[in-house]
């Protein structure tokens, strides 16, 4: 018989010999009646002394249960076991031997079993890889928002750093996003609303990332998200383009995240059943990944500095990382440690700057301003350390100390100077102090300790603080209830406007120096000052012009109907004794002029 004309039986035998699958025919007891070459090859590593007589004996080390399985009543059309995976013992794995065998065992009739064997190494490995990929993915997804999580982001940044090392054309940036005053949403609207806002923010970020090739949106922390973007995919080709693209994107994020979130009905007593909008905003810190970044956390640290800058400027905006920010952060770190010591080592002192009544040129008050005599750096201005004190919580102790000093100082002037004493003392309050529930008691105790009339104390707060939520408004109301007055500091620099002045619980508006300094040269600023004075007066508030440096400015402000004036023109902030001398000298001059 020539090739190609074999009978069906011969073809089957040929198949048995050449098939890439192991086939073994045995008795019910496992004694091998037929075995094809592939089966022999697969089983050989298990065969003791190369003996392949009984299948169950050979497989006993890896499948001792087989003999028992064959004795069970047939329920499955003869199938005894289907694709049983047998892990080969390490000793049997040498050379090309499979790591895993797949075994199928079939009862053909009352006397015959047929086993099919195959190398399942690849299939099992594939399955293991699939499972580990799933575990990998599960540990890199944030449960609440289903965005990639912190770990996933850090890995992606490390990947970007690696790419960057080989391919200088690949340029990346990270935009770190943090919800502004998120704790307030949790406290006032409940944690469910907080979660809904975070999910909403995540959705918006995801949508923005989806529109950019190579971008990844991730949840980095509780109320913190991040966007990793491929700058060379955004179209720019030079560094300036990159920065502009980053800033445009940051602005887009701030805008998208500032749209109120609908979180469903949250007020149980609400009768209209309307869905509630929760106002939230976010700040963004931008950093372009560069040569100075050794690892992902270094990138995130720099993004954090940029973010902090955005928050420092009031939030709902973006900040861009610069080397200067890093230098400042280092400096701040060492200043922070020094500041803790400064409080104990009496390196702080208070200076006083007069506030003069424009109508009659009398001393209406003094503003207390803190100073720090640093053992190495000399006098450190408050702009350099008040921020640190706020961030570290030191402001509470520091602020109370300034308050005590100031109250004592005015009481001492009242005792020593009688009618020549300033009528009031102004003390600056920072945000962290107002948020502290103990502030009302602290102020009351300071007044009592110095036996000062509450009406002689004025507390100054910035407009961004005074315009804040109900808690702050309530706290300011409680302070006013003590009998003191509140002044709105730096008016004109924040984002509140004349139109919302009536909403703020203040008695005095302090017009910022930037307006005053341009009042003589700019008609625009003159008009603004005039408007502030008019609106304030209509609301029963008085006005103070800050930073008056020249006689010309003072004269102009008087004609603009401003009530009081403060600045270098009258005096710089002076240490207590010099301020006392200034008060005496001024009284003498007034008397001589009157005589």
Distance in Å, CB of 428 to Ca ion, minimum: 5
Question: CB neighbours (10 Å) of residue 63?
Answer: 21
Residue 318: which H helix or E strand, with range? strand 318-320
- Exposure string (b/e) for 109-136, b if CB count within 10 Å is 16 or more? eeeebbbbbbbbbeebeeeeeeeeeeee
Q: Name which of ligand C2E, Ca ion, none residue 369 binds, using a CB cut-off of 5 to 8 Å depending on partner kind.
A: ligand C2E
Which stretches of 172-317 are assigned E, i.e. beta strand? 172-179, 216-221, 224-230, 261-262, 277-278, 282-288
Distance in Å, CB of 510 to ligand C2E, minimum: 7
Distance CA 242, CA 252 (A): 15
Question: How big is the site for Ca ion, counted in residues (CB under 5 A)?
Answer: 5
Q: Does 195 bind Ca ion (CB under 5 A)?
A: no
Q: Number of helices (H) and strands (E), helices first, in the chain?
A: 21, 22
Q: Does 428 bind Ca ion (CB under 5 A)?
A: yes
Binding positions for ligand C2E, 384-423, rule CB under 6 A: 386, 399, 402
Q: Name which of Ca ion, ligand C2E, none residue 353 binds, using a CB cut-off of 5 to 8 Å depending on partner kind.
A: ligand C2E
Distance in Å, CB of 490 to Ca ion, minimum: 4
Binding positions for ligand C2E, 355-384, rule CB under 6 A: 369-370, 381-383
Question: With respect to ligand C2E, which residue has the nearer C-beta, 205 or 402?
Answer: 402
Question: With respect to ligand C2E, which residue has the nearer C-beta, 208 or 369?
Answer: 369
Q: Binding ligand C2E by CB under 6 A: which of 22, 30, 492, 573?
A: 573
Distance of CA 185 to the CA centre of its chain: 15
Residue span binding ligand C2E (CB under 6 A) among the ranges 105-113, 210-218, 306-314, 428-436: 428-436
Phi, psi dihedral angles at 18 (to 5 degrees): -105, -10
- Exposure string (b/e) for 249-287, b if CB count within 10 Å is 16 or more? bbeebbeebeeebebeeeeeeeeeeeebebebbbbbbbb
Question: With respect to ligand C2E, which residue has the nearer C-beta, 15 or 568?
Answer: 568
Distance CA 329, CA 481 (A): 40
433-472 mask for Ca ion (x: CB under 5 A)? ---------------------------x------------
Distance in Å, CB of 244 to Ca ion, minimum: 34
Strands 508-511 and 485-491: parallel
257-276 mask for ligand C2E (x: CB under 6 A)? --------------------
Burial classification of residue 495, based on how many CB atoms lie within 10 Å of its CB (0-12 exposed, 13-18 middle, 19 or more buried): exposed
Distance in Å, CB of 546 to Ca ion, minimum: 5
Q: Is 532 helix (H, G, I), strand (E, B) or coil?
A: helix
Q: Binding ligand C2E by CB under 6 A: which of 36, 353, 496, 580?
A: 353
Q: Name which of ligand C2E, Ca ion, none residue 549 binds, using a CB cut-off of 5 to 8 Å depending on partner kind.
A: ligand C2E
In Å, the largest CA–CA distance within the chain is 147
Q: Does 547 bind ligand C2E (CB under 6 A)?
A: yes
Residue closest to Ca ion (Cβ): 460
Q: CB neighbours of 570 closer than 8 A, spacing ≥ 6?
A: 354, 356, 548
Residue closest to ligand C2E (Cβ): 567
Tokens of 551: 């006689």
Compute the chain's Rg from CA coordinates: 40
Distance in Å, CB of 368 to ligand C2E, minimum: 6
Q: Does 430 bind ligand C2E (CB under 6 A)?
A: yes
Binding positions for ligand C2E, 447-466, rule CB under 6 A: 460
Are 543 and 564 in contact by the 8 Å Cβ rule? The answer is: yes
Q: Does 490 bind ligand C2E (CB under 6 A)?
A: yes
Q: Which residues bind Ca ion (CB under 5 A)?
A: 428, 460, 489-490, 546
Q: Which residues bind ligand C2E (CB under 6 A)?
A: 353, 369-370, 381-383, 386, 399, 402, 428-430, 460, 489-490, 513, 546-549, 567-568, 573
């Amino acid at each position: 018989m020539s090739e190609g004309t074999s009978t069906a039986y011969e073809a089957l035998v040929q198949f048995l010999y050449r098939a890439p699958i192991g086939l073994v025919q045995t008795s019910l007891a496992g004694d091998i009646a037929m075995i094809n070459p592939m089966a022999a090859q697969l089983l050989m590593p298990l065969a003791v002394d190369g003996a392949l007589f009984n299948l169950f004996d050979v497989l006993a080390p890896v499948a001792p249960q087989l003999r028992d399985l064959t004795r069970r009543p047939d329920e499955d059309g003869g199938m005894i076991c289907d694709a049983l995976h047998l892990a080969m013992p390490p000793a049997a794995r040498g050379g090309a031997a499979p790591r895993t065998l797949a075994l199928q065992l079939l009862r053909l009739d009352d006397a015959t079993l047929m086993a099919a064997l195959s190398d399942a190494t690849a299939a099992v490995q594939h399955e293991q890889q699939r499972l580990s990929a799933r575990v990998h993915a599960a540990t890199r997804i944030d449960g609440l928002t289903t965005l990639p999580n912190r770990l996933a982001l850090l890995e992606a940044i490390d990947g970007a750093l690696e790419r960057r090392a080989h391919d200088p054309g690949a340029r990346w940036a990270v935009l770190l996003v943090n919800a502004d005053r998120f704790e307030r949403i949790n406290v006032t609207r409940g944690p469910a609303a907080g979660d809904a806002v975070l999910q909403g923010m995540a959705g918006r970020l995801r949508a923005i990332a989806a529109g950019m090739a190579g971008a990844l949106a991730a949840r980095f922390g509780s109320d913190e998200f991040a966007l990793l973007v491929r700058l060379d995919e955004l179209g720019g080709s030079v560094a300036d383009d990159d920065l502009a693209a980053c800033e445009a994107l940051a602005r887009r994020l701030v805008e998208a995240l500032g749209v109120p979130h609908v979180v469903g009905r949250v007020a149980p007593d609400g009768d209209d059943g309307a869905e509630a909008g929760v106002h939230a905003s976010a700040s963004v810190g931008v950093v372009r990944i560069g040569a100075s970044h050794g690892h992902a956390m270094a990138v995130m640290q720099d993004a954090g500095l940029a973010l902090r800058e955005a928050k420092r400027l009031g939030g709902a905006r973006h900040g861009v990382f610069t080397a200067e920010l890093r230098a400042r952060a280092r400096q701040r770190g060492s200043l922070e440690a020094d500041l803790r010591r400064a409080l104990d080592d009496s390196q702080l002192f208070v200076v006083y700057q007069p506030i003069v009544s424009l109508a009659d040129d009398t001393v209406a008050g003094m503003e207390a301003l803190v100073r720090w005599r640093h053992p190495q750096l000399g006098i450190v201005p408050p702009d350099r350390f008040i921020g640190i004190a706020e961030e570290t919580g030191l402001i509470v102790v520091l602020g109370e100390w300034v308050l005590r000093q100031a109250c004592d100082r005015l009481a001492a002037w009242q005792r020593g100077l009688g009618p020549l004493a300033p009528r009031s003392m102004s003390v600056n309050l920072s945000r962290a102090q107002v948020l502290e529930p103990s502030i009302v008691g602290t102020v009351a105790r300071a007044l009592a300790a110095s036996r000062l009339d509450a009406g002689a104390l004025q507390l100054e707060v910035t407009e961004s603080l005074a315009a804040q939520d109900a808690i702050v408004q309530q706290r300011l109301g409680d302070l006013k209830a003590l009998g003191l007055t509140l002044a709105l500091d730096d008016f004109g620099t924040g984002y509140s406007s004349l139109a919302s002045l009536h909403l703020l619980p203040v008695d005095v508006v302090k017009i910022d120096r930037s307006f005053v300094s341009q009042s003589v040269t700019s008609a625009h600023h003159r008009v603004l000052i005039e408007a502030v004075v008019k609106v304030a007066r209509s609301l029963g508030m008085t006005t103070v012009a800050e930073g008056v440096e020249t006689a010309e400015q003072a004269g102009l402000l008087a004609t603009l109907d401003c009530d009081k004036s403060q600045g270098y023109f009258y005096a710089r902030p002076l240490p207590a004794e010099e301020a006392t001398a200034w008060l005496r000298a001024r009284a003498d001059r007034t008397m001589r002029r009157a005589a």
